[in-house]
Every structure is written in C-alpha cells, then in structure tokens.
A and B are shown apart, each in its own frame.
Chain A
Amino acid sequence: MIRAPVEYSTITSVKGPLIVVEGTRGDVGWDEFAQIRLASGEVRHGVVLEVDHDLAVVQVMEGTAGLDPRASRIGFVGRPLAIPVTEAWLGRECNGRGDPIDGGPPILSNVAREVTGFAINPARRDTPSEPVITGVSVVDALTTVVRGQKLPIFSVGGLPHLELAVQIAAQARVGDAPFRVVFGAMGITHADVAAVRAGLQEREAAGELVLIINTAADPVVERLLTPRLALTIAEHLAFDLGFHVLVVLVDMTNYCEALREIAAARGDVPTRGGYPGYLYSDLASIYERCGRIRDRPGSITEIPVLTMPGGDITHPVPDMSGYITEGQLVLSADAWARGIYPPVDVLPSLSRLMRRGTGAGKTRADHPAIAAQLYASLAQAQRAREMAELLGVAALSPTDRRYLDLGDAFERQLMTQGMAESRTIEETLERAWGVASILPQRELTKVSRSQIEAFYQPGGRGGPEPGGGGAPETAPGLGQG
C-alpha cells in the first residue's frame, strides 16, 4: 500500500513549520504524507499543504528547528497519513504520531486507515437514543449523555474539568454492553497526564483503554493529529468491532491554538480571535466523527474538554464548539469556590439528545418531565436569588423564598457528589424529586398530575441527604475561593 518514497534533496526554503520542495511536479499529491531525513539521520514527518507547478509546500510536524535544507532529503509516501487499526490498541499508549510510548511492541495490522477519516453518510446514521449512565447525578439527571453524542465540558483554568472527565470515563456504563475508552490528551502537563493514568488505572488494566498523549512539551503539529488518531482507532473499535466507545479529548483549546499557530505560519486570513475561517469546519471534522451507523452495532460518544480563555463562552473556541456539539456541560467557578463538586452551571448546560435517550425503557418514564421541571424551577430560583441580592430576602414573596430553598437544596442534595462516587439513575431521580418537592405542587407545571401523585415527597425535604449513597470525599476547592 505504501510505495517506496520518491526522494528529493531540493528543499529550497524554510519558514516556521513549513518547507518548500522543488521539482516535485507530477509526483506529489495534495495532503500526502512525507518523511524528512536530516543530515544527522533523524527522521521527521510532514504533510503536503499545497502543490503548485513544480513546488510542494510541506508542513513539518516536529518543527523545522535544526533542519538544514541543503543537507536534508524528503520522501513522499504516496498517500495521506494512515495508522494501523486493530484491537491490539486496547491497553496501549502512544504519542501524537501513533508511535507507542509504553515500551511495548510496535502495533501492527494489515489494515491501515487514513487519520483524517471520511464523513459518515447522514442518511446512514442511526439517531442516538440510548443513555450512557455516568453515575454523576447532575449529568445523568439534567444533561444525560446519549450513545453517539458529542457533549463537551466547557471549563476555565483551575476548575476540576479533568477530574470530572476522568470520573465519567472511569464510571460510564451502557447497560451490560462492552464499553471502551479512547483518551486523547493535547498539550496538557505531565502532572495532568499522571492524574489521567491514575484515574483510569482499572480501565487500563482491564484492557479497555487506549491513551494517546501529546504533552505541552511535545510538537505542536502533532496536537492536530492526536484527536484524529484517537477517532480513527475509535471508529475501528466501534464500527468494525462493535464496541461502544467513549472518546475523551482534553484540551480542545490547546488544539485550536495549535491550529491558529500553523494557520498564521501559512499566512491564512485570520478571522475572530486570529483563528482561521475554517476553524468551524476543522472542529466539525473531529466532533462529527461520533455517532451510530445503521446495521453496525457499536457507537462513538465524544466528550471533548475545553478551557474558555477568560471564562468567556463567546470566545471562538467554545463558540464554534457549541455550534457543532450536541450540547455542553458548563462548569462554574463560583460553585467551585463554594466547595461544590462537580461544579456545574446548570442553566447554560444542555444535552440536546437527552429527549431521545431518557424516559420509559431508557432511564425512567418521569425523567424528561422532572428534568424539565428542575430546569424551569432553577431558572426561577436564579431570578429570586438576583432579586434577593438587590432588595433583600424580605422583599420576596413566600413562593419565591421557596425557590431560594430549592436552589440551595439542589446544590447540596443532587449536585454535590464524591469524585469516586457513582450513583444509580434511580437514586439520582429520587434526589431530583426530593429537590422539586420543596415547591408547592401548584408550581410544578412541567410534570403531570399523575407523576406528582407517584413521586412528590410531601414535607418538601425529602430525598436522601448528601452522600446518602456513600460518603463524599472532602469537599474540594475549599479555601480556594
């Protein structure tokens, strides 16, 4: 499949990560993969960005530092970058170029797939409609993850987004079906990588995990490949082998910054925030690789994690992501400062596919209604809190004071949870009704009268106390606010 590379010693210029090769006319195709041999014998890798008459512009992944154009040779392999796909990836770790870094043997397969992938035919997609139970109450109750969904975590530096992503990756289940995790790390610190390894130890030991790691110290260009490797492996596991696969990608902001860096070096027209106009399409080529396909048993669910620069949700990275993904889980610096884990900002959070993945036969019949009720009530609670801050609690009507109580109870009884605590969906929904029951029945217009009869907890303080299903660990973040 990979032909003997045609070699050239005609590299004529170097600019940033780009080199120009002369005399390639007719031999080199756009988007082809290349190998560059330096005088020292070191081998670097590149991708063809443009072919123009007898020139080829190549982007060098490891960067061009120390690359002497006159003493280096470049060979083109005749096809885009591809990696072997095989079940043998499970239990392994590699870098952003696909080379193992766990000391194990090379990964071999007679099937290689191009890492950029191809769009799933929208007419062949199956609508995602089964839940992934994460064991995290606030997620399962209000932003249920659905098999085949892409649901990012929007965070800011210093918040426990990595902890939450790892907790979800460790606990997530899809009934009794086999479940696998592919974790792609882009530009994160060694300390964070260690935390990921520790948190996912059990999965790794069970051969349920693939780790693809590009640390902050690794080449920037490989950051662009990392998520594509993860998804190429995941596609094989899901659509060829039938596994349900969760792909976690951390941190997409680092990815986008790498994209911007390369775009600037190429001289692409910058748009908002200096990002190239194709940021949306580029992100879509990653996020849209999840889903389900008719007549194929597996699924790919994606949880990308990104940090919003300046906590600004209108920044191009969260903004473009939000336009592509199927909802978002927004973390709150405010809640974290008050010691709440997981600190989810409920109102801007959303799972767009929740409607399909919840209800009778999926979670429980009353789930969609009680979730809608909590969203509506928490919105009113927020209005009441703002009013109380302006005018004092005394200015609130008796009903609005109940809403204040509901907001507090929600954080204490439903949201707060230990980092290693996994709750069943039944327990989560019990807690949800306990919180809703703080309001008088006439306020509960989003649930049916028969649901009120079945689940309302008279007395209004129902629902287990925090940690009823296992003591939460020490509240994180205390003292940080």
Chain B
Amino acid sequence: MALKGWARAQAGPQATAPGAASGRIESPVTVEGTIVRVNGPMVEIEGLAGVSLADLVEVGPGRLPGEVTGIRGAIMTAQVYEYTGGLRVGDQATSDRQPLSVRLGPGLIGGVFDGLLRPLARAPDFLSPGAFAGTAAHGSEAEFRPSGRVGSLVSGGAVLGRVRESLAIDQAIQVPPGIAGELRHLALAGRYAPDAVIAQVADVDVRLSSLWPVRRPRPFAERLDLEAPLATGQRVLDLFFPLTRGSTAAVPGGFGTGKTILLEQIAKWCDADVIVYVGCGERGNEMSDALSELRELVDPRTGRPLLERTVIIANTSNMPVMARELSIYTGITVAEFYRDMGFDAVVIADSTSRWAEALRESASRTGALPVEEGYPAELPSQLAAFYERAGRLRTLGGGDATVSIIASVSPPGGDKTEPVTSHTRRFVRTYWSLDRDLAAARHYPSVSWRDSFARDASRLGVWHAANGDPNWLGRRGQAMAILAQADRLQSVAELIGAASLPDPERVVLLTARLLHEAVLQQSAVSNNDAYCAPAKQAALLDLVLAVHARCLDLVGQGVHASELEEVDLSGAARARDEVGRDDAAAVGTIRDSILGRLAGLAP
C-alpha cells in the first residue's frame, strides 16, 4: 500500500521532470472535467474519470487547489482551498489523479507556511487567490553531503546523506518509505535544488525533497513503550500534570483563559528537538508575535535561536476555511518526517476546535447528517485517528523517536461538555483544563488542579526515581492533597468564616495560598520565570512544603494561626521571579531565612 501511494506521490504534479540522471517515472495521467456547481469552497465537477477520494484537483482559470471529498456517479465533489469568487459553471477542472500531498525536505525549519505547506514568506502582503503561484516550485537550493555507499542494499529510512537546516538541526536525507533495493547512484556533495535527484534506489529516483499525502500516517517499524517526560519548564505541568514524550495532551478553555500562551510557552521551552506549531484558525497577530519571539529567544540547550528548531504553519481564522481543516494533518505529517530522522518532534495545534468546525462546515455543504451540534458522525473517529498519530516508535531507519501532540480546544461558551472537548478528553493521556475564574483572577497558567489529569504520572514517578529524584511522586501527592483539602476548607470557611476554623486547618489554607503564589503561578513574561528548570521547580515546591511543616509544628506548640497569617511571606511569593531560572540554591537560601523567621515565633 505504502509503495503504491509513494510511487503515486512521487510522480505528483509538483515533482517536475528530473534531469539526465532520471530513471523511470510513472508519468502522470491528467484528466479533465467541467464545473457544474459552485457553493463557496464546495465545487461539483463532472468528468475527471478515475480520480479517487483525497486526490488533488485544480479548478478554474486560476488553477485553485482542491481535494476530492465525494464521488457520486460521474460527479465529484471537491473542497477548494482558496477563495472561489468568480468561478463559473463550465469552467475547467483537472487532476493528475494523485493524492493531495505536501513537499517534505530541506527548507522547512524556521519557515512559515500555510495549511498546504506553501511558503508564506514568499507570498505577497494580501493573500488573494493565486498569491502562491510559483512559490512551491522555487524552494532554495541546499548543500547536500552524501553518506550512503553505492552498491549497498537500502530500504525506507536508510540515510543517504545530510543537509544542515540550522545549527540545531542536521537533517537526514533518507530513502522514502516503501522503496528498497540496490543503491545504484548517489549524488556528489554540492548544492541541489529541492526536486533534484540525489540518488537512485533500484529503479526509483530519490529526490532531495519528496512528496507525502498528508492524510496518510508515515509508516514505522514498531511502537515502543512511553517512558520519559517531556519537560516543559512550566511548573504546574511538570510537577503536577506531566506529559510523556510521545504522548498526547489537550488544553481546553474558554477564550482568554491562556491556551495560546501556554502552548507558546511549551513551544519555546520544552526539551524536544523539533517543534511544529500549527496556528489553525487563530489570530494573525499571534502568529507574528510568536515568530518574532522565537527569532529572538535562545534555546538554552543549543544556544541558538528557538526558531532554528521550529516549523510554523499558519492558517489564520480569515484564511480559507478548508485549508484550516488540512493544516492539522500537514502539521503532523511534517512532525512524522522529522521523527523518521530520529528526532523527538512535538506538534502543537491551536486550535483543534477550528479544525472540527471546518470539518462541520464541509460536512454540511455536502449534506452529511449532522449528529451533535451540527457535527458529523465521523467527528470522534477523526479525533481519535489524529491523536493516534502520536507515539514513541522504532523508525524504519532503526531510530528511537517520538511525536507528541499538544492541542488546544476552544469550547463554545466555555462549556466543556460540548462534543469536541468531551470526545478529545477520551482520547488524550494528559488533560490541562483551564479555569475561567483563575484566569479572571490573573492566576496564570489557569490550569485547574481539580479538572485536569495526567494518566502517566505514576509511570513518570518511576522515571524520576531512576533519574535522581526519588521524591518526585511524594512531593506531588502531598501538594495535591493540600490543594484538595484547601478547596474543601474554603467552602466551609465561606459559611463560618476562616477565623472559626481550627488552627491546623488555617495552616492548610495559608499553605494553599502560598502554593498558588509561589509555585502554580508562572508568568510567561517574566525574565527569570518564563522557563523554570527542574531543580528550581523542585526547590520552590520544597520551600512551600517546608513552610507548611514548620507552621504545623508551630501551631502544635501553641502558636496561633492568626500570628502566622500576619508573617510576611512575600519573599516566598517573589522567589520565582527574583531567582535565576535554574538557581535552586538561591531558593534554598530564601527557604532557610523564612524558616528561621518562623522559628522565632516558637514559644
């Protein structure tokens, strides 16, 4: 299956005829048809003999790209990825009968692309139809360093050479999946155009860039167990609701609760090799902001700008709706492409609700039966299939690599029982539920400790224990217990007043407040705190737990809770901002001085 798909993709319309070194290439068969109906992005075409679902079609004089979404007798329904104004009945449509594919190869890292992976940097200020004309074919040349051995037997995933994308990413040029045989030819080191043939395997030409149908997951050798955490540098995530490398996380929350900022923080600071950031139906200003920040910020692990490990796919809310639906698949395909080189890749998608809405719009135009809030019945299976493309895998090339998926969900009215949120919740392993009240109180990130979950927490406890932090799980358990107890006490306090609670319980309330201010809150705009290293994270949580223990001790010795409540603990709340991003020792000093001050209250 993969072989056939591959051969078809290779011969796609964007793969222009190679030069002298070319082997045999299935020449594309172009078929023609006539438009008989236009309703927005939905176009019906008569003719186009032999096309299949998901094939690329080009419609009208502007050759606008579209994809076949339905076939009824001689009539094809296509969804078009650009504005269809002016398209008429009788206009021509053509298809090479190849699945809609994206070009994968050098030149992606650091770039900004639309939902069809067309480079936005080379498009004009306003995206009128045809704005991308010619941009796809003119990728820049790349310096290829061959490393394969002519005459050897190779198969999908074998490395033929490398191209340095950035100082952070030295990209492998590999035999595409589905191709195997003798390496008959390998290009010499030098600069090559994206569609230049750099090798021949058996009878098949291998080019520097290759096409892959976005809706088809790229193959791998086997799935491996999830083990290690994906560290994000965000305390509430890493300490309380951690994510495993190769796993899935969803961030549901009403508007303004902090989804985008949280995703951007992860894109900047998580310890993955490659980030694919998909802005799916969101704001243009956010994309330009993210772009300029990634350009300025330095990756603490490589010392290079963060943009040098990032691919941005921007299909903003005012860009063609149907391309929004595609952009999610484009993003994951790019991530799988880097995974296949052995990298840990993360797809960050903001927001999957916009993808689901595009799906709904397309379904309603084709007359599919709406089942829940207008969504088609395929919504849950589509969501499940999307998240299933994450994983830790043995690649075809033998590497151990991961794709993690982190996606936001935008529930209408903040109602998390709506279809997209509730189905997503079933399919992800980690769920960071954002809380409107916390956000309104400017408690950021507004991750709710009641409604969120991390299904791999105990597994990660084992990993942390094996990697030098045996107390990780215990610390988490103790802090979660304090938060839960404080929630209960808070509702009692609202009835009888906090002053009427027993002293140890008032200490719990005091500690919970300190947990919020010193640990859970983390400002994305703080120099010292936007990223927090693991050791500082643990030190801050230890500080609060130590204060808690000391306070309980003191009330045990007869000190009144009201005395403790008047102690100036602002030093603890300020520590996260005032101490360097990995300065655990300085947090320890602050802890000791606070504990010392508390000790002074002892009778």
Contact = CB atoms under 8 A, between A and B. Distances in A.
A119 to B, nearest CB: 4
Nearest to A377: B442
Given A29-B88, A121-B125, A121-B126, 8 more contacts: A29-B85, A32-B86, A80-B86, A278-B321, A284-B318, A291-B285, A356-B289, A390-B494
B229 to A, nearest CB: 29
Interface string A99-141: 0000000000000001011111111111110000000000000
A352 B282 CA distance: 14
Contacts of B88: 26-30, 51
B284 A288 contact: yes
28 contacts: A28-B88, A29-B38, A29-B88, A30-B84, A31-B85, A31-B86, A49-B39, A50-B38, A118-B131, A119-B284, A119-B316, A120-B126, A122-B279, A123-B112, A123-B120, A123-B314, A125-B287, A270-B374, A271-B360, A272-B373, A281-B318, A294-B125, A296-B125, A350-B256, A352-B256, A355-B525, A376-B441, A442-B570
A217 interface: no
Nearest to A235: B126
B125 A124 contact: yes
A281 B87 contact: no
A390 B492 CA distance: 12
Nearest to A390: B494
A86 B442 CA distance: 44
3 A-B pairs with the lowest CB-CB distances in the bound complex, closest first? A314-B413, A284-B317, A379-B441
A118 B128 contact: yes
Nearest to B260: A352
Interface string A362-385: 000000100010011001000000
Contacts of B39: 30, 49-50, 52
Contacts of A118: 83, 126-128, 131
A405 interface: no
Contacts of B36: 52-53
A371 B88 CA distance: 55
Interface in A289-339: 289, 291, 293-294, 296, 314-316, 319-320, 322-324, 326-328
A314 B525 CA distance: 29
A280 B317 contact: yes
Interface of B: 36-40, 83-90, 112, 120-121, 123-128, 131, 254-256, 279, 281, 283-285, 287-289, 291-292, 314, 316-319, 321, 354, 357, 360-361, 364, 370, 373-374, 410, 412-415, 440-443, 494-499, 517, 525, 562, 565, 568, 570, 573-574
B102 to A, nearest CB: 17
Interface in A217-275: 239, 268-272
Nearest to B123: A121
Nearest to A266: B39
Contacts of B374: 269-271, 277
Contact of A288 (B279, B291, B316, B357): B316
A409 to B, nearest CB: 19
Contact of A319 (B84, B318, B361, B412): B412
Interface size range of chain A in the complex: 35 or more
Contacts of B517: 445
Contacts of A355: 525
A372 B573 CA distance: 15
A278 B287 CA distance: 22
A294 B442 CA distance: 32
Contacts of A372: 442
Interface of A: 24-32, 49-54, 79-80, 114, 116-128, 148-149, 239, 268-272, 277-278, 280-281, 284-285, 288-289, 291, 293-294, 296, 314-316, 319-320, 322-324, 326-328, 347-348, 350, 352-353, 355-356, 368, 372, 375-376, 379, 386-387, 390-391, 395, 397, 442-443, 445
Nearest to B358: A281
A270 B285 CA distance: 30
B125 A353 contact: no
B283 A119 contact: no
Nearest to A320: B412
A388 to B, nearest CB: 11
Contacts of B255: 319, 322-323
Contacts of A315: 413
Given A30-B85, A442-B570, A445-B517, A123 B318 contact: no
Contacts of A285: 318
A288 B412 contact: no
Contacts of A120: 125-127, 284, 318
Contact of A268 (B364, B414, B495, B562): B364
A326 B279 CA distance: 15
B90 A25 contact: yes
Nearest to A53: B36
A26 B34 CA distance: 11
Contacts of A51: 37-38, 87-89
A281 to B, nearest CB: 5
A31 B84 contact: yes
B442 A278 contact: no
Given A50-B39, A123-B123, A277-B361, A128 B86 contact: no
B412 A327 contact: no
A29 B37 contact: no
A376 B495 CA distance: 24
Contacts of A149: 285
